[in-house]
């Protein structure tokens, strides 16, 4: 699942989206902080391929995009909106293929602009990037080719605090970056970053009114933070493989960025530092039980605006959850199985 799969709905309930067989499943809190529903399929009985993207707008609505088989050797992208955690998500609706028809080309990345419209980015079969956006009154705009070459799977899409949409892509010698210069405009390629980036490790987070911070692991194993227009900063060695989960939160009265990742030890590692002040340094603190090798980690805030962290193992379906205690620092409650 590309994107943050642990979300807080507009009613304060948390929900979790997971891939399972030929479906996307959703679980949700019955009440904020209360028991959870059993997993249920998103969008009815349509059969899907095992990859999807999720994004959320400021209205709290979740937007999910996945590939579904359409004919022998061919697939198309479909979209569903989930308005509230306890409501059933809408049925999957087709949004087409970047090249009109063909097989899957890459895992979709989804973000939602200030008008509540989903933007979908996907690597195309020429190893560039295609983009499609919802119309305000229903339907979708035509697909647009944003160009690029040698793009690797694992795009990171984000909407900045300004409401403008951005997308980042790893390439063999760095990161490509597209950004809307103004609302409603087509994302335009910006100055790329030259850096030894490990593919599949990008995570983008809006960190100020003008800036987005992109986290990635370099080929030496260091976790780095980069804001376009500047140079990347090494934060600390990555705790494990894959992208980090990242969220902004207040810790002891300071605006901080909190990172989480499954560590090589099998536990969840957390690190925090003052937002956009990488020079302050950060260090990992491990928490919780040992997890399966495929366990994923996600962060959000709950109905009381407390940090909540979840781990999910696709192979076992095990979902664990913890929340920050109401005390100084980053003390967490005991992890519990949902």
Measure the CA–CA gap between 211 and 228, rounded to whole angstroms.
8
Who contacts 194 (Cβ-Cβ below 8 Å, separation ≥6)? 173, 174
Q: Are 259 and 249 in contact (CB under 8 A)?
A: no
Instruction: Give the tens place of pLDDT for each residue, 252-289.
Output: 999 999 999 999 999 999 999 999 999 999 999 999 99
Query: Is the CB of residue 111 less than 8 Å from the CB of residue 120?
Result: no
Distances (CA, A) of 3 to 43, 111, 246, 304: 19, 9, 11, 23
Nearest one of 312, 289, 290 to 299, comparing CA atoms: 312
pLDDT tens-place string over residues 68-91? 999 999 999 999 999 999 999 999
Q: What number of helices (H) and strands (E) belong to the chain? A: 0, 29
**Core vs surface per residue 89-108: b (16+ CB within 10 A) or e:** bbebeebebbeeeebbbbbb
User: What CA–CA distance (Å, rounded) separates 49 from 36?
Assistant: 26
The whole-number pLDDT of residue 242 equals: 86
Residue 136 has a pLDDT of 87
CA dihedral 125, 189, 167, 10 (to 10 degrees): -130
Residue with tokens 């198309």: 76
CA 179 to CA 187: how far, in whole Å? 5
pLDDT confidence of residue 138: 86
Whole-prediction pTM: 0.96
The pLDDT of residue 281 is: 94
Question: What is the percentage of the chain residues whose pLDDT exceeds 90?
Answer: 94
Which residues in the chain land under pLDDT 70?
none
The DSSP output letter for 192 is: P
Domains of the chain: 6-194 (2.120.10.70)
Q: Could you give the residue ranges of the DSSP H alpha helices within 26-177?
A: none
């Amino acid at each position: 699942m590309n994107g943050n799969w642990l979300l807080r709905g507009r009613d304060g309930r948390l929900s979790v989206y997971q891939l399972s067989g030929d479906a996307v499943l959703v679980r949700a809190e019955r009440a904020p902080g209360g028991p959870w529903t059993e997993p249920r399929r998103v969008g009815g009985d349509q059969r899907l391929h095992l990859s999807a993207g999720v994004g959320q707008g400021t209205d709290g609505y979740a937007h999910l995009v996945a590939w579904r088989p359409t004919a022998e050797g061919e697939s198309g992208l479909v979209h569903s909106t989930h308005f509230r955690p306890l409501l059933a998500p809408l049925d999957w609706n087709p949004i087409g293929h970047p090249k009109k028809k063909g097989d899957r080309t890459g895992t979709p990345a989804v973000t939602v602009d200030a008008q509540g419209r989903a933007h979908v980015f996907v690597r195309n079969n020429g190893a560039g990037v295609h983009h499609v956006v919802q119309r305000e009154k229903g339907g979708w705009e035509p697909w647009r080719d944003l160009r690029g070459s040698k793009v690797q799977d694992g795009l990171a899409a984000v909407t900045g605090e300004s409401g403008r949409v951005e997308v980042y892509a790893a390439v063999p010698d760095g990161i490509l970056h597209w950004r809307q210069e103004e609302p409603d405009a087509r994302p335009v390629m910006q100055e790329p970053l030259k850096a030894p980036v490990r593919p599949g490790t990008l995570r983008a987070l809006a960190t100020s009114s003008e800036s987005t911070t992109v986290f990635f692991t370099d080929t030496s194993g260091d976790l780095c933070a980069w804001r376009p227009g500047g140079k990347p900063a090494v934060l600390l060695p990555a705790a494990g493989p894959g992208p980090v989960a990242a969220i902004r939160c207040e810790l002891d009265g300071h605006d901080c960025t909190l990172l989480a990742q499954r560590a090589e030890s099998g536990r969840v590692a957390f690190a925090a530092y003052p937002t956009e002040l990488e020079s302050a340094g950060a260090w990992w603190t491990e928490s919780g039980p040992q997890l399966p090798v495929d366990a994923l980690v996600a962060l959000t805030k709950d109905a009381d605006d407390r940090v909540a962290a979840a781990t999910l193992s696709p192979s076992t379906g095990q979902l664990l959850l913890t929340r920050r205690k109401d005390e100084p620092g980053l003390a967490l409650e005991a992890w519990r199985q949902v």
